[in-house]
Structure 1
Amino acid sequence: MSTFTRRGAMALMGATAATPFIARTARAQTPINVGALRFTSHAPSFIAAERGYFADAGLDVNFEFFQAAQPMAIAIASGDADYGVTAVTGGLISLAQKGAAKVIGGGLSEEPGIDGQKILASNDAYEAGLTDPSKLDGKTYGITQAGSSFHYMGSKIAQAEGAEVSFKPLQKVPAVIGAIKTGQIDAWSIVPHIAKPLANAGAVKIIGDVSDYLPNYQVTTVFTSADNAANKREQTAAFLEAFSRGAADFNAALVDNTADEAERDAIIELIAGYVYPDRSVEEARPSIVNGAMRINANAALNRASVQDQLDWFKSEGLVGGDVAYDTLVDESYVDVIS
Structure 2
Amino acid sequence: MTTFSRRGAMGLLGGAAALPMLGRPALANTKLNIGALNFTSHAASFVAYERGYFAEEGFDVEFKFFQAAQPMAVAIASGDADYAVTAISGGLISLAEKGAVKVIGGSLSEEKGIDGQKILASDAAYQAGLTSPAMLGGKKFGVTQAGSSFHYMGSKIAAAEGVEVEFVPLQKVGAVIGALKTGQIDAWTIVPHIAKPLAAGPEVHIIGDVADYLPDYQVTTIFTSATNAGAERAKTEAVLRALSKGAADFNAALVDKTTSEAEMEEMVKLIHKYVNADKPYEAARGSIINGAMRLNAGAALNTTSVKDQLDWFIAEGLVKDSITMDTLVDASYVQTM
Matched, 1:240 2:240: yes
1:201 corresponds in structure 2 to 201
Q: Are the structure 2 counterparts of residues 315 and 128 from structure 1 closer, same or farther at C-alpha, using a change threshold of 3 Å? A: same
Q: Are the structure 2 counterparts of residues 286 and 23 from structure 1 closer, same or farther at C-alpha, using a change threshold of 3 Å? A: farther
Give, in angstroms, the shift of residue 60 of structure 1.
0.9
Q: Distance in 1 between matches of 2:179 and 2:266?
A: 34
Q: Which amino acid aligns with 2:99?
A: G
1:325 corresponds in structure 2 to 325
Q: Distance in 2 between matches of 1:58 and 1:281?
A: 31
Q: Distance in 2 between matches of 1:20 and 1:268?
A: 26
Q: Which amino acid aligns with 1:108?
A: L
Give, in angstroms, the shift of residue 20 of structure 1.
10
Give, in angstroms, the shift of residue 263 of structure 1.
0.8
Q: Distance in 2 between matches of 1:112 and 1:23?
A: 37
Q: Distance in 2 between matches of 1:87 and 1:22?
A: 31
Any idea what SS the aligned residue of 2:138 has?
coil
2:250 corresponds in structure 1 to 250
Q: Distance in 2 between matches of 1:132 and 1:102?
A: 37
Q: Distance in 2 between matches of 1:194 and 1:180?
A: 13
1:51 corresponds in structure 2 to 51
Contact 1:20 1:334 in 2 (8 A): no
Q: Which amino acid aligns with 2:73?
A: A
Q: Distance in 2 between matches of 1:286 and 1:137?
A: 33
1:123 corresponds in structure 2 to 123
Q: Are the structure 2 counterparts of residues 73 and 23 from structure 1 closer, same or farther at C-alpha, using a change threshold of 3 Å? A: farther
Give, in angstroms, the shift of residue 274 of structure 1.
1.0
Contact 1:104 1:223 in 2 (8 A): yes
2:173 corresponds in structure 1 to 173
Give, in angstroms, the shift of residue 282 of structure 1.
1.4
Give, in angstroms, the shift of residue 277 of structure 1.
2.0
Q: Distance in 1 between matches of 2:318 and 2:311?
A: 10
Give, in angstroms, the shift of residue 203 of structure 1.
2.2
Give, in angstroms, the shift of residue 22 of structure 1.
11
Q: Distance in 1 between matches of 2:215 and 2:314?
A: 21
- Gaps of at least 5 residues in structure 1 are 1-16
Any residues of structure 2 matched to 1:44-193 within 5 Å, and which? Answer: 44-193=44-193
Q: Which amino acid aligns with 1:281?
A: Y
Give, in angstroms, the shift of residue 24 of structure 1.
6.5
Q: How big is each residue's C-alpha offset from its partner over 1:113-134, in whole Å with a ceiling of 9 and x where there is no partner?
A: 0000000000000000000000
Q: Distance in 2 between matches of 1:315 and 1:41?
A: 28
Q: Are the structure 2 counterparts of residues 88 and 22 from structure 1 closer, same or farther at C-alpha, using a change threshold of 3 Å? A: farther
Give, in angstroms, the shift of residue 29 of structure 1.
2.0
Contact 2:17 2:245 in 1 (8 A): no
| Higher RCO, 1 vs 2 (CA within 8 Å, ≥6 residues apart) | 1
Q: Which amino acid aligns with 2:275?
A: V
Runs of 4+ in 1 over 6 A off after TM superposition: 17-22
Q: Are the structure 2 counterparts of residues 334 and 23 from structure 1 closer, same or farther at C-alpha, using a change threshold of 3 Å? A: farther
Contact 1:103 1:330 in 2 (8 A): yes
Q: Are the structure 2 counterparts of residues 22 and 160 from structure 1 closer, same or farther at C-alpha, using a change threshold of 3 Å? A: farther
Q: What's the TM-score once normalised by structure 1's chain length?
A: 0.93
Q: Distance in 1 between matches of 2:67 and 2:217?
A: 22
Q: What's the TM-score once normalised by structure 2's chain length?
A: 0.93
Q: CA RMSD in A?
A: 1.5
Instruction: Provide the identity percentage.
Output: 69
Q: Distance in 1 between matches of 2:78 and 2:105?
A: 20
Q: How big is each residue's C-alpha offset from its partner over 1:242-284, in whole Å with a ceiling of 9 and x where there is no partner?
A: 0110000000000000011111011100100111221222111
